[in-house]
Amino acid sequence: MNKVAVTCALTGAQQGKEANPNLPEQPDEIIAQGIEAVDAGAAILHIHARDTAGKAAADVEIFRTITEGITTARPDTVINLTTGGAVAGLPLEDRVKVVPELKPEIASYSVGGGALLGRYDKRQGQWVNDRFVPLFASHGELERVARIFQEHDVRPELEVYHAGMLNNVEDLDALGVFDHPMLINFVTGIPGEITKSTVKNLVFLVDQLPDNAVWQVTSIGARNHFRMVGAVLAMGGQVRVGMEDNVYIGPGELASSNGQIVERAVRIIREVGFEPASPAETRELLKLRGA
């Protein structure tokens, strides 16, 4: 199959218009850029919500407004809602509500205990953004949330930040809580206890995967965001891009929209002999309920 599923992550839970004034925050902005991204070749839209001040929010009604706005205009779009936002301090129970209440075809699900973020700035002589982000307190809690996904027929996009989290994926899969193929998203490039975004690291991670998995890579930051697309394609992965992960279209040039970022990714995809999968083809690839 020479078709590749393209996910566009529209806005995220951290950086805002201070990073790029074109980053969408309010529902009408997210809807408009989501439609543009779909028209540019994205089959899946990964969606975070923001409040009126532009801060990360877990309000189901904001998610509903965004989802309905996109699917009214582009009914075939595969919706992937976040249950993330721990980095912004949103409680787990609030973040998970989108699964039973909105039942998207996909929702993100970080399968680990947490991560120590930050980096040491030699020029300042101090740690920058130094903090611990808690995700799950126990394997039992991981299982409980996985079963919420299973009960409501929502495919989890399993967020994996380092190789140790694949152990949790393996154990949970053995409990029968995941439908197949599992969708695994390798999140790379965040400073801290997160795998660096390199081809060598990606080869190692992909080698640990079970056969019943489809995978993609989130490559954070302008340096590697587009460069990793070629490696992902060569290794048989799916593609994720978007302003949640990178706000630049080129060196020193801020992206005008998520659609512009998707357009560049699609050019890369076609240059190496692939085509972006349609939403229908993506549903078949992932065996989603919409298929």
Q: Is 226 helix (H, G, I), strand (E, B) or coil?
A: coil
In the structure, what pLDDT confidence band is assigned to residue 1 with cuts at 50, 70 and 90? Answer: low
- DSSP bridge partners of 78: 44
- Number of alpha carbons in the 13 Å side-chain half-sphere of residue 91: 4
pLDDT one-digit tens code per residue, 17-56: 999 999 999 999 999 999 999 999 999 999 999 999 999 9
**240, 7 Cβ separation under 8 angstroms:** yes
pLDDT in tens, 184-200: 999 999 999 999 999 99
Question: pLDDT tens digit string along 161-184?
Answer: 999 999 999 999 999 999 999 999
- Please state the rounded mean pLDDT for residues 218-224: 96
Neighbours of 85 (CB within 10 A): 21
Going from the C-alpha of 284 to that of each of 4, 94, 215, the distances in angstroms are 12, 31, 15
Structure token digits, residue 283:
């549903």
Say what the pLDDT of residue 290 is.
85
Measured between alpha carbons, how far is 155 from 135 in angstroms, rounded to an integer? 19
CA-to-CA separations, 134 to 54, 62, 91, 137, 238, in angstroms, rounded: 22, 24, 10, 8, 28
* pLDDT at residue 246 is higher than 80: yes
Predicted local confidence at residue 21, as pLDDT: 98
Place of tokens 């543009």: 36
**DSSP bridge pairs for 72:** none
Structure tokens at 280: 């229908």
pLDDT digits (tens, 9 = 90+) for 45-95: 999 999 999 999 999 999 999 999 999 999 999 999 999 999 999 999 999
Q: What is the DSSP string of 6-25?
A: EEEE---SS--TTT-TTS--
Name all domains of the chain by residue range, CATH numbers in brackets.
Answer: 3-286 (3.20.20.70)
Rounded to 10°, the helix 227-235/258-271 angle is 50
In contact, 101 and 148? CB cutoff 8 Å: no
Residue 205 near residue 228 (C-beta atoms within 8 A) = no
Q: Which residues pair with 192 in a beta bridge?
A: 117
pTM above 0.95, yes or no: yes
β-strands 44-47, 78-81: how paired? parallel
pLDDT in tens, 113-163: 999 999 999 999 999 999 999 999 999 999 999 999 999 999 999 999 999
- Residue 278 is predicted with a pLDDT of 98
For residue 133, give every residue at least 6 positions away whose Cβ sits within 8 Å of its Cβ, in sequence order, or none.
86, 87, 114, 115, 116, 117
Nearest to residue 242, comparing CAs of 28, 65, 30, 3?
30
**Mean predicted lDDT score pLDDT of the chain:** 97
Work out the end-to-end distance of the chain between its first and last CA atoms, rounded to an integer number of angstroms.
Answer: 17
pLDDT at position 291, please? 77
Per-residue pLDDT tens over the stretch 248-291: 999 999 999 999 999 999 999 999 999 999 999 999 999 999 87
